[in-house]
């Protein structure tokens, strides 16, 4: 089953694509207005990201992805996987970019890690444990690079939790056709690849492929 990977002009697209190849997950890379390729509503979508909330939203808008992505995910109900900032932009807003609206697919905000913790170090860079909050979710260590974390209005969407400097936060989420990882599965070794393959094995779409 082919997946569509969105290239919004930044982020960790290359490393994510190499991980998909190692997992034998077939994909096509979409570049929006750059080459006229957009989400079709017939294939699962992956949105990888590294960098700032505002920059990703600007890139998605500049490449004409906002309307077709919304149509595919919210209306066609295609499976969606967000990675890192690709998780954060699912929400309504972020403290990183106060005047920028997110996609708003999920209710909630993105907050900065507190810096009043003794010996606080932000961003979080390195390995951290993810603890399952939903059934059939294997636990293990994954690789994070983040200064911000999502705070969903509905805590039941949280798939994994981690803790950093005394703050418990959403490490991953799942609601309906939407899944997203705050961590980087492509940098998380064999366990990260297992999580990608598990997501791929769950794929179901509402339109014929």
Q: Where are the domains of the chain?
A: 3-201
3, 46 contact by CB (below 8 A): yes
Q: What's the pLDDT band for 204 if we cut at 50, 70, 90?
A: low
In the chain, where do the E strands start and end?
3-6, 27-30, 45-49, 80-84, 93-94, 108-112, 124-132, 140-146, 148-152, 158-164, 167-175, 178-181
Asked if pLDDT for residue 205 goes beyond 50, the answer is no
Which residue, among 144, 173, 204, 200, has the nearest Cα to 22 in the 3D structure?
A: 200
- Phi, psi of 82, deg, nearest 5: -105, 145
And the tokens for 91? 């929400």
Judge whether residue 55 has pLDDT over 80.
Answer: yes
Higher pLDDT, 116 or 160: 160
Contact 161, 171 (CB under 8 A): yes
**What pLDDT digit, counting tens, does each position of 114-151 carry?**
988 777 899 999 999 999 999 989 999 999 999 999 99
Strand partners, 144: 126
In this prediction, residue 206 carries a pLDDT of 40
**The predicted structure's pLDDT at residue 118:** 74
Q: What is the DSSP string of 148-181?
A: EEEEESSGGGEEEEEEETTEEEEEEEEETTEEEE
Distances (CA, A) of 181 to 34, 115, 140, 160: 27, 23, 14, 9
The residues facing 131 across adjacent strands are: 161
Residues designated catalytic: 84, 184, 186
Looking at 3.40.30.10, 3.40.50.880, 3.40.50.300, 3.20.20.70, the CATH number of the domain 3-201 comes to: 3.40.50.880
Neighbouring residues of 119: CB distance < 8 A, sequence distance ≥ 6: 165
Average pLDDT, the chain: 94
Dihedrals phi, psi of 151, to nearest 5 degrees: -125, 90
DSSP class per residue in 7-19: --SSSSHHHHHHH
């Amino acid at each position: 089953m082919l997946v569509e990977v969105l290239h919004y002009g930044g982020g960790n697209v290359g490393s994510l694509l190499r991980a998909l190849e190692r997992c034998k997950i077939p994909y096509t890379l979409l570049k929006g207005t750059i080459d006229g390729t957009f989400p079709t509503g017939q294939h699962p979508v992956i949105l990888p990201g590294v960098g700032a909330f505002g920059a990703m939203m600007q890139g998605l808008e500049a490449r004409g992805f906002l309307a077709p992505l919304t149509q595919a995910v919210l209306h066609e109900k295609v499976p969606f996987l967000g990675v890192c900032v690709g998780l954060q932009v699912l929400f309504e807003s972020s403290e990183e970019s106060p005047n920028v609206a997110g996609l708003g697919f999920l209710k909630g905000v993105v907050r900065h890690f507190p810096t009043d913790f003794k010996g606080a170090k932000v961003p979080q860079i390195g390995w951290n444990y993810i603890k399952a909050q939903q059934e059939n979710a294997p636990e293990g260590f994954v690789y994070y690079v983040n200064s911000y974390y999502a705070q969903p209005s509905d805590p039941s969407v949280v798939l994994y939790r981690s803790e950093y400097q005394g703050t418990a936060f959403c490490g991953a989420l799942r609601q309906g056709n939407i899944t997203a990882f705050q961590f980087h599965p492509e940098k998380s070794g064999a366990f990260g690849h297992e999580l990608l393959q598990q997501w791929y094995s769950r794929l179901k779409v509402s339109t014929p492929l």
